[in-house]
A and B are shown apart, each in its own frame.
Chain A
Amino acid sequence: MADTVLPRVWLMRALYLGLSGLLAFVHLLPLDTMPPGWAGPNIFLALTFAWAVRRPDYVPVLLVALVALGTDLLLQRPPGLWAAITVLGLETLRNRAFSLRDLTFAAEWAAVSSTLVVMTLAYRFILTILMVDQAPLGLSLMQLFATLLAYPLVALLSHAVFGVRKRAPGDLDTAAGRA
């Protein structure tokens, strides 16, 4: 399945970068300047994790770290902290990707959920210790649950549209990509 011009891995990495840029762009559109009573899902995070569980080589650490730092800067979050936590979560999932490969989707969802919960708690904990102004707890929790609910959808889309599938034994495309 290797592409003739570019290895498929690099195509998918570029696609990941493009999707992240698109998400940031949609977030920045000045459509609604009212303070919302609800918080939507963090699609970028769901996308990153869905790809990390399926094909860890599509989301290299450096790329995710740079994109997450950029989002931190653009979306007015404290710069660096959420990016660092995202990278840690990514590595946790990446290390579990091999054991998750043979399990059902429910197991994968549970793994991602637990990682997300720990990440959110750690983020709020660190901000509290350093006495940084933070968002209301309700909104954070709402965003967490929205992300958890959106995860299966993002995973399905990645699987069906972008062709991000778990590596089957005897699959040769990454070997070809590396060569």
Chain B
Amino acid sequence: MANDRGQSEDYSGPLKRLLLGVILLCLLGLFLLWRIDSPRVERFRAQVVDRVVPSFDWAMAPVTGAVNILRDFQSYQRMYQQNQDLRRELQQMKAWKEAALQLEQENARLLDLNNVQLDPRLTYITGVVMADSGSPFRQSVLINVGSRDGIMDGWAAMDGLGLVGRISGVGRHTARVILLTDTSSRIPVTLQPSGQRALIIGDNSIAPLVDFIETPDQVRPGDRVLTSGDGGVFPAGLLVGQLAEDPGGRMRVRIAADYERLEFLRVLRSYATEDIDAPGDLISPSSLPDAQPLDPAIAAEASNG
């Protein structure tokens, strides 16, 4: 049994077996730790990613650029067709632009009448998408702004038009955006015009499920889906997309953001809204006069007034 002897010599000495045991113990221990205390391990993961991915960046940008150029080149073959489509769309856009201008003027007038104050803190930071999640099971992207730029967990990320996802995991130079399509994404929304509250549940498809609608009879495909701001997760009123019905009869949302080309993302600064957690107090002057005789002058003034 020469083979067996060679095997025991080479691969299953007691030292090797010990090493294997220690490695397995470490890996499973890390997994259990992650299951028990996920935020801590996720922070560790964010730090690792923060260290590793930017060092790939010098190669990532040109390769991504080259592949995109190739794809664009393929689309030249359909140029005539696209030209026709674009002309037709431009015609429609002109009509819409006219309508939008009129609405903008009307809106400005109405805002002026109402003297509305928009929240000045709702400003944004723009980041560039560096990497995606790299696996077909997870839908997230990495952007090149992080805690250095003041990004915090839970903030909303949008492209120019609609909501893309939320920040989850912040490194010093990078932050991860969990997309709406990820299976762990849950976003509270309002369906307009009916005003129903619902939840958007990502399920790894391009159109996430809309569930927990209060009165399903009152909503129909084509309704606008906006964030509701429930639970203090997001600012209210960010556009998510349009409601649509899938062949199975379930409601889904057609996302307004362009998921095919996520390049620049805006991260909205949104600090937690203040909670009203105490009942109203009696309104009293901040400094009550002490129990001393009233000043005659003030008393006289009061009786005059």
Residues of B within 8 A of A57 (CB): 10
Nearest CB in chain A: distance from B169 CB, A: 9
Is the Cβ of B141 less than 8 Å from the Cβ of A33? yes
Question: Which range contains the number of A residues in contact with the other chain?
Answer: 35 or more
Residue B288 is within 8 A (CB to CB) of chain A in the complex: no
Contacts of A31 in B (CB 8 A): 64, 67-68, 132
Please pick, from A76, A91, A130, the residue contacting B20 in the complex, using a CB distance under 8 A.
A91
- Asked if A80 contacts B129 (CB within 8 A), the reply is no
A28 within 8 Å of B by Cβ?
yes
Q: How many A-B residue pairs have CB under 8 A?
A: 147
Instruction: Report the Cα distance A83→B34, complex, angstroms.
Output: 14
Partner among B35, B49, B259 whose Cβ is within 8 Å of the Cβ of A74: B49
Q: Establish whether residues A84 and B64, one from each chain, have CB atoms under 8 Å apart when the complex forms.
A: no
Chain B residues positioned under 8 Å from A154 (CB to CB): none
Interface size class of B (residues with CB under 8 A): 35 or more
Q: Is the CB of B27 within 8 A of A87?
A: yes
Given A73-B48, A80-B30, A84-B28, A35 and B139 contact (CB-CB distance below 8 Å) = yes
Query: What distance in Å separates the Cβ of B31 from its nearest Cβ neighbour in chain A?
Result: 4
A81 within 8 A of B: yes
Given A95-B12, A133-B184, 8 new contacts (CB under 8 A) = A25-B59, A29-B67, A30-B60, A30-B142, A79-B30, A79-B31, A81-B27, A133-B183
Selected A-B contacts with CB under 8 Å, 7 pairs? A25-B60, A28-B134, A33-B261, A34-B260, A56-B11, A78-B35, A80-B29
User: What residues of chain B have their CB less than 8 Å away from a CB belonging to chain A?
Assistant: 3-4, 6-7, 10-12, 16, 19-20, 23-24, 26-31, 34-35, 41, 45, 48-49, 52-53, 56, 59-60, 63-64, 67-68, 129-142, 179, 181, 183-184, 203-206, 259-262
Q: Which 4 A-B pairs have the closest CB atoms?
A: A135-B137, A80-B31, A27-B134, A80-B30
